[in-house]
Structure 1
Amino acid sequence: MPVLERDPWRFQYFESVPCPDDVLIPTDDPDCWTLYPRHRWIYDKLKVAESQGIACGPHGVPPDRYPVFSKPIVNLKGMGLGSRVIASAGEMDHASQPGHMWMELLRGPHVSTDCAIQDGRIVWARHATGVPWLDGMFRHWTIHAKPFPDLETYLSRWTSEHMRGYTGIINFETIGGLIIEAHLRFADQWCDLYGEGWVEALVRLYAKGEWYFADDDRRDGYSIPLFAAHGHAFRHPSLEFQFRIRAMPDVKSLQVTFHEVKAPEDHPMPPGGFRLAVINATDLDAGHAARRALAKAFPQDQILDQT
């Protein structure tokens, strides 16, 4: 399989694509840290903020003004662990922690962008935005067909200045057009929505340093999670039931995103709920219909209403 994928529900995107044995394509930040020592500095969020002139500093250095956003300087586990808004100097005194930083509280759209990079130059980009729900959960993400020209120009300038020598994928998270964090990988949750042949292009980029991808037929895509209440153990729907969901109109894929043999509390999940599955679709209404159908495979009193 061409991709170092730790989540078995995402093997479906990669297992049929041939790849040289010596080519390693990471999807998890700890693997990125190991594979790219020259560029691992990108996981230092303090350095990323400083590189853009954003007001920031480690805990112990007081901000000039509040509120600020506080988070770990390095967090390879993701999920926003340890992040919070700090509203005042008094609150900062109580919240101060070693290894954490503060930065200016940014406003504006929160965008996730996957970029294909050749020697520090962006040669392809695709953007996604989420609809927040409750306590770290999202109703869905939209993977946009349209370009974001201003954002792409900014990311291209930053990448050409700071990422020379790097060839591969970078995922950027931005707020209001400024980078809040970056990853030496792609968003594997919805890579099937990038279009036919994208994984083959990914392999070629890592194997030969070349990017060729026919991207003229973009469509908006939607990645739609199904959540249940915390505190329960769940079983996977039958393979036959899953097949029926995947066969519904405009559904591209179904991921059942938990391990039956692992305790529920051992899964990294947002505070608001336990994610049972994700449906990727090319039509939002069709994706919602598939989610409602999928929910019937689980105890109804434990499903969280996402309508």
Structure 2
Amino acid sequence: MPILQTDPWRVQFFKDVLCPGDVTIPTKDWEAWTLLPRHRWIYDKLAVALSQGLDAAPHGVPPPRYPVFSKPMINLRSMGAGSMPIPDEATYRANLQPGYFWATLLTGAHVSTDAAVVNGEVRWWRHATGATAPGGTFDYWHVHAEPRPEIEAWCGAWSRKHLNGYSGMANFETIGGRIIEAHLRFADQWPDLYGEGWVHALVRLYTEGQWVFDDAQRADGYSVVLFAPHGPAYRHPPAETIAQALAVPGVSSVQISFHEDRDPSHHSMPPGGFRLAIVNAASLDGGCAAREILYRQMVPAARFR
């Protein structure tokens, strides 16, 4: 399948859409970095910060003021690994690490934005915000129907300047309307929430360099996440449990988002929990009800190695 998807729980979104064999659509950062050498520099988060005029520098260069935010310059495994706020000089000196940088500590809404880009010009936007939970986890993501004009203005201008010559999907993570990360792919967690025909439009973007999508029926959606404590060896639920979750009104997909045949420590997860499943739904209540069904089956059945 030329739509590259290494997570078996997300193949469901793409398996029924034809894509030419000579076209490759990345869904992971490491794939995009390999496929798109001209624009791979945007995975350097320090470079992205500096491109927007933010205060930022590698560890070893003292910040002129605190607080700041620290994280790896490049992290293709995502999930916020290694990120932390630094309130003062003592904390900074205690956490100096090679390959890390600090930047202005931004405030405001944390938004994930998918954008369809044609030669640097954004032709389609969709924004999502997360309800945070402890330890870098999220309770759920709200995929909004409404636009975010301030983000679209800032990221649109940035894209025209820095992604000239690029056609494909881009994902921007912003805080307070400023980019903290940019990716040469889309959020493959919720394509079913973007509406009927969206994956076909995705394929056309990469095959023809055009964005053609009827977005008149866009609606809010929710991607509800099931996290559980680190430590146990979790197992996938039986098919009848997944069918029960899918039968909840408004639920469009269930993703069991880990490999049960791998050591749990080999998954990239935030410190606050191990992600077991994702439920996409048209309503938050429906997504939470389906998550509860999965929780009752999966968490009590967990065993320690």
Do these two structures clear the TM 0.5 threshold for a shared fold by scoring above it? yes
1:59 matched residue in structure 2? 59
2:3 matched residue in structure 1? 3
Preserved contact between residue 227 and residue 276 of structure 1 (Cα < 8 Å) = yes
1:287 matched residue in structure 2? 287
1:182 matched residue in structure 2? 182
1:221 matched residue in structure 2? 221
Map 1:226-241 onto structure 2 (within 5 A). 226-241=226-241
CA-to-aligned-CA distance 1:8-44 (integer Å, 9 cap, x gap): 0000000110010011000111111110000001011
What is the deviation of 1:235? 2.0
The 10-residue stretch of structure 1 (260-269 or 69-78) with the greater mean CA deviation from structure 2: 260-269
Preserved contact between residue 222 and residue 280 of structure 1 (Cα < 8 Å) = yes
Gaps (5+ residues) in structure 1? 303-307
What is the deviation of 1:244? 2.5
1:72 matched residue in structure 2? 72
What is the deviation of 1:71? 1.0
Map 1:9-88 onto structure 2 (within 5 A). 9-88=9-88
Preserved contact between residue 228 and residue 299 of structure 2 (Cα < 8 Å) = no
CA-to-aligned-CA distance 1:112-158 (integer Å, 9 cap, x gap): 00000000000000000000111111111000000011111111111
2:117 matched residue in structure 1? 117
1:305 matched residue in structure 2? none
What is the deviation of 1:87? 1.7
1:150 matched residue in structure 2? 150
Please give the alpha-carbon distance, in whole angstroms, between the structure 1 residues aligned to 2:294 and 2:55.
45
CA-to-aligned-CA distance 1:37-78 (integer Å, 9 cap, x gap): 000010111111111110111111111101111111111111
1:269 matched residue in structure 2? 269
Preserved contact between residue 3 and residue 27 of structure 1 (Cα < 8 Å) = yes
Preserved contact between residue 56 and residue 104 of structure 1 (Cα < 8 Å) = yes
1:296 is paired with a residue of what secondary structure? Answer: helix
Please give the alpha-carbon distance, in whole angstroms, between the structure 1 residues aligned to 2:230 and 2:272.
8
What is the deviation of 1:296? 2.3
1:167 matched residue in structure 2? 167
2:246 matched residue in structure 1? 246
1:297 is paired with a residue of what secondary structure? Answer: helix
Please give the alpha-carbon distance, in whole angstroms, between the structure 1 residues aligned to 2:97 and 2:273.
27
1:25 is paired with a residue of what secondary structure? Answer: coil
Give me the TM-score of the superposition, normalised by structure 2.
0.96
Preserved contact between residue 120 and residue 164 of structure 2 (Cα < 8 Å) = yes
Preserved contact between residue 194 and residue 218 of structure 2 (Cα < 8 Å) = yes
CA-to-aligned-CA distance 1:63-122 (integer Å, 9 cap, x gap): 110111111111111121221111222322222222111101111000000000000000
Preserved contact between residue 114 and residue 169 of structure 2 (Cα < 8 Å) = yes
Please give the alpha-carbon distance, in whole angstroms, between the structure 2 residues aligned to 1:34 and 1:119.
19
Could you list the runs of 4 or more consecutive aligned residues of structure 1 that deviate by over 6 angstroms after TM superposition?
Answer: none
Please give the alpha-carbon distance, in whole angstroms, between the structure 2 residues aligned to 1:91 and 1:54.
21
Please give the alpha-carbon distance, in whole angstroms, between the structure 1 residues aligned to 2:128 and 2:62.
34
Please give the alpha-carbon distance, in whole angstroms, between the structure 2 residues aligned to 1:164 and 1:62.
34
Please give the alpha-carbon distance, in whole angstroms, between the structure 1 residues aligned to 2:121 and 2:42.
16
1:211 is paired with a residue of what secondary structure? Answer: coil
Preserved contact between residue 2 and residue 14 of structure 1 (Cα < 8 Å) = no
Please give the alpha-carbon distance, in whole angstroms, between the structure 2 residues aligned to 1:95 and 1:244.
46
CA-to-aligned-CA distance 1:245-289 (integer Å, 9 cap, x gap): 212200010001111211222222221222111100001111111
Please give the alpha-carbon distance, in whole angstroms, between the structure 2 residues aligned to 1:90 and 1:31.
38
AA of the residue aligned to 1:48? V
